């Protein structure tokens, strides 16, 4: 089967074993086993992502590993967010969880909150997603109190509302987290159950 990344003319095409794609993604399994165009042609096209994220998806489908280098060069976090969105679209919780772990590793290595990713994350994920909740935690624990006011343009309105609710619901836990480090937060709080 063929997975195409990009528009018609400049699309990158990747031929991968059907069994890999269908095993990990119920969306691809349904598409390739249907009477729809994907089932008839054995082609699946992603037009709403970039080539690098698509390559990481293909790599993961074949190896179950994301080949990205740490720490962040101010591009890897956004690329990982794009990969998370692809994994969400394809209903692959194992890949989403790996992406969350990588984003968290970068965050822990650099001690920086990648606020440049926030607009993309809020535009492309649903309320309550693990990636959103992880960014809310980073903003609450790591940003200086005036940062959001100083850089208001980086924060979508929906994110600010979710942030206010998050802080109100987690005030005690956040206070402890600021005083004693992140001992009160676990990556598992953001990850999804994986089915085998």
Report the share of the chain in percent with pLDDT over 90. Answer: 43
Name residue, tokens 């399994």: 29
pLDDT at 135 over 70: yes
pLDDT at 49 over 90: no
| 43-46 β-sheet, strand order | 12-15, 2-5, 43-46
Mean pLDDT of 72-99: 90
Mean pLDDT of 130-153: 92
Worst-scoring range by mean pLDDT, 4-13, 73-82, 121-130?
Answer: 4-13
Domains of the chain: which residue ranges? 69-189
119 φ, ψ (degrees, to nearest 5): -60, -45
What pLDDT, on the 0 to 100 scale, is given for residue 195? 74
Q: Give the residues across from 13 on adjacent strands.
A: 4
Q: pLDDT tens across 64-73, in order?
A: 999 876 555 5
Average pLDDT, the chain: 86
Mean pLDDT of 11-22: 87
């Amino acid at each position: 089967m063929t997975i195409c990344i990009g528009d018609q003319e400049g699309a990158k095409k990747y031929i991968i074993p059907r069994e890999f794609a269908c095993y990990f993604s119920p969306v691809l399994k349904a598409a390739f086993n249907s009477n729809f165009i994907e089932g008839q042609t054995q082609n699946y096209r992603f037009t709403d992502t970039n080539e690098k994220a698509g390559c990481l998806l293909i790599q993961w489908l074949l190896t179950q590993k994301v080949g990205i280098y740490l720490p962040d060069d101010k591009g890897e976090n956004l690329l990982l967010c794009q990969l998370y969105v692809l994994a969400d679209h394809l209903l692959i919780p194992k890949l989403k969880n790996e992406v969350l772990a990588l984003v968290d590793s970068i965050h822990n290595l650099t001690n920086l909150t990648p606020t440049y990713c926030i607009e993309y994350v809020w535009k492309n994920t649903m309320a309550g997603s693990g990636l959103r909740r992880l960014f809310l935690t980073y903003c609450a624990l790591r940003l200086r109190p005036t940062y959001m006011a100083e850089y208001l343009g980086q924060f979508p309105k929906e994110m600010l509302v979710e942030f206010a609710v998050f802080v109100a619901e987690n005030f005690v836990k956040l206070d402890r987290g600021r005083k004693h480090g992140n001992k009160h937060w676990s990556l598992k709080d953001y990850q999804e159950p994986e089915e085998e």
